[in-house]
Amino acid sequence: MTLKKDSRFHRPTPFEERVYAVVRRIPKSQTRSYQWVATQLGDPSRARAVGNALNRNPYAPQVPCHRVIRLDGSLGGFSKGAEVKRRLLDAERREARSRKRNRIGLSANQKLQARIISTRGMKTTKLG
């Protein structure tokens, strides 16, 4: 995949490029810690360096740095602010749940069962 770089930013170092390659593989709606990224690069002690590299990410949004959080589960830093990071993560999670509910390729029997389950508890009226 060819990444489009915003030319207003510095040229990434080889370490930063490796960070971006790892982060690009984090699945949508999932998060990983800065330490996890550093471990993938072979040195878990470089979590702070990972954070610094993501702070200078010239490839956003192709490199989704908002998916990297602190080891304790808190959001950590984000160039556009923590609230924007939270909104991006929430939007991805909602989209993933929606996709899961609307799976394509269900058999006719599975669709019927889903319809029956979704109508349980609804009041019905007999006609005629």
**Identified catalytic residue from 23, 47, 65, 89:** 65
Mean pLDDT of 48-66: 93
Res 1: pLDDT? 52
Contact criterion met (CB below 8 Å) for 59 and 10: no
In the predicted structure, residue 67 carries a pLDDT above the cut 60: yes
Res 124: pLDDT? 47
Contact criterion met (CB below 8 Å) for 29 and 92: yes
Percent of the residues in the chain that have a pLDDT greater than 90, as a whole number: 54
Q: CB under 8 Å to 84, separation ≥6 — which residues?
A: 66, 78
Task: Establish whether 57 is a catalytic residue.
Answer: no
Instruction: Write down all domains in the chain, each with its CATH number in brackets.
Output: 14-103 (1.10.10.10)
Contact criterion met (CB below 8 Å) for 18 and 41: yes
pLDDT tens readout for residues 96-122: 888 777 765 556 666 666 666 655 555
Res 99: pLDDT? 78
Residue 75 phi, psi (nearest 5): -70, -35
Q: What is the SS3 assignment for 69?
A: strand
Question: Which stretch of DSSP H or E encloses residue 33?
Answer: strand 32-33
Res 125: pLDDT? 47
State yes or no: cis peptide before 12, omega within 30 of 0: no
